[in-house]
Chains A and B, each alone.
Chain A
């Protein structure tokens, strides 16, 4: 495992790619701003690479815990009207979603 060097600053294109992966339609101005700011943040957080962690296990939980189980019992869910009232668009007792398939699909 190698620690990315500090020269691996995030480029504008990389930020655009990451924003796309995260479904953020960022503007050109944001790309300029974020590339610089995130570069500085990455420089700061890259310090973790200097820690000697040979044979150190990662922490997954702050407090030791094993799997948590419960009985598989059906419980009432939230009333449909209450849930639909919070949805951005509803139709025929269901949440209406934007188009999910392309024209040619």
Chain B
């Protein structure tokens, strides 16, 4: 049998359902690999092998006893540490929550638990999901499995490194401005940010509530669709949850992989790496994206160029809106109800204890964003900054809306560059923020967007982004699957097989 840790999740599900492997075997092979390799990769913040094996044993027993188990039962899974998990340490990458064991499950964690998935552990992330390299984690550095001297993207960099590195078959990430798509792109994974409101935010530690969405990070488009279907759907515990049926996504992925794309209208966004907008983009990234567009055309898609002028302002608007919402959301970390408390000597009052707790508990990027958000929301500046940014957000949505008159999907690079060296951008927030340039418009408009691998540049993965209208997530999957299938056919192997085939930790 081929190595279980390079098998995709859909195939693992088939092997498990057919009784060809047990959940314990699959879980043990992942735990062994985590034990052997995670010191070098740094993907996980918490792994509980015994708990994982107990869950796997229960699934095997249920299956042997003929008790109905679902298609995902027994498949291991990693969750980004922003997802609250009952009794399992949850830190959001921050010292302020060190040692906290939540008393409840996030809705998506509960759904995946009920589906019989086996939780391997919680993955590293930029503190409170603020960052694009996972270097803002308070705990450890995470390495890109393609080249250990480079970043795995962020903020869901633990999830991307785990899945690309064979330390989890798939994982959940969250995306506020690109935190699923960019790490997926730079590690050669598929990552999808669902339509805002289509996956419950209940139990996700909030960063920017009008933008945060959880979604799948996987080795194939079909895996992403399957995992997305498992977490999607209305949740009365999230008041922004959309009350509509769970979309049919796996079927869209299967259809996309089989058929052509005739009749599909694809818009290439000029402002995202197009003519006159190539500053800051790697030539290799633009070349791979152009090849992917040509491939879509060869599959029957009709390609045109679309201008979305307001996208130029997505980055400044985002870096006002997200820090503003963060400064408000993070007020809950007051050292009173959970997490860290510093300086409570009976003499200092609540204000002083709170300020000392937050000073010690938060890292520099979180402090920067809280201060920036406090400024943008403060009297006298609100209209010029936060208010103006929310109006620019409307302009971005309008650009999308008019584009949908002419095209079915919009495409672009997922990120302007390939993975950069660890440390290269840590002292330069603006350079770090630029990694989100292409992912921010879909975040601000709340529309779905997927990143799918489209080749290598400098021996490192390049991501191709496909954006679709709200609730048309199935289009992302269909087009991504068509692209993936055509590339796999041309290559004769899956994208990640290129990583497995090379010596560990070295770029080609």
Contacts and interface: CB of A to CB of B under 8 A. Distances in A.
Interface residues of B, number: 76
Interface string B405-417: 0000000000000
Given A22-B371, A34-B371, A98 B348 contact: yes
A86 B445 contact: no
Nearest to B101: A86
A47 B239 CA distance: 33
B451 interface: no
A40 B316 CA distance: 12
Nearest to B319: A45
Nearest to A16: B371
Contacts of A62: 196-197, 210-211, 397, 444-446, 470
B261 to A, nearest CB: 27
B372 A41 contact: yes
A24 B367 contact: yes
B319 A59 contact: no
Given A1-B383, A41-B429, A23 B351 contact: yes
Given A62-B445, A95-B336, A22 B327 contact: yes
Contacts of A14: 375
Given A59-B390, A86-B338, A89-B344, A10 B375 contact: yes
Contacts of A45: 316-317, 319-320, 372, 376, 385, 389
Interface string B353-384: 11110110010100110111011101001011
Interface residues of A, number: 61
B368 A38 contact: yes
Interface string A75-86: 000110011011
B341 A86 contact: no
Nearest to A52: B395
B462 interface: no
B375 A18 contact: yes
B106 to A, nearest CB: 14
B301 to A, nearest CB: 27
A65 interface: yes
A7 to B, nearest CB: 14
B100 interface: yes
B229 to A, nearest CB: 19
Contact of B349 (A33, A50, A87, A98): A98
Interface string A54-78: 0011111111010010100000001
21 contacts: A23-B351, A24-B367, A25-B356, A44-B319, A46-B316, A48-B316, A49-B384, A57-B391, A58-B394, A59-B390, A59-B397, A61-B210, A62-B397, A62-B444, A70-B236, A86-B100, A97-B350, A98-B335, A98-B341, A99-B350, A102-B349
Interface of B: 100-104, 195-197, 210-211, 236, 239-240, 242, 310, 313, 315-317, 319-320, 327, 334-341, 344, 346-356, 358-359, 362, 364, 367-368, 370-372, 374-376, 378, 381, 383-385, 387-395, 397, 429-430, 433, 444-446, 470
Given A24-B355, A60-B390, A61-B446, 9 more contacts: A26-B367, A38-B375, A44-B430, A45-B317, A51-B395, A56-B395, A59-B391, A59-B444, A87-B336
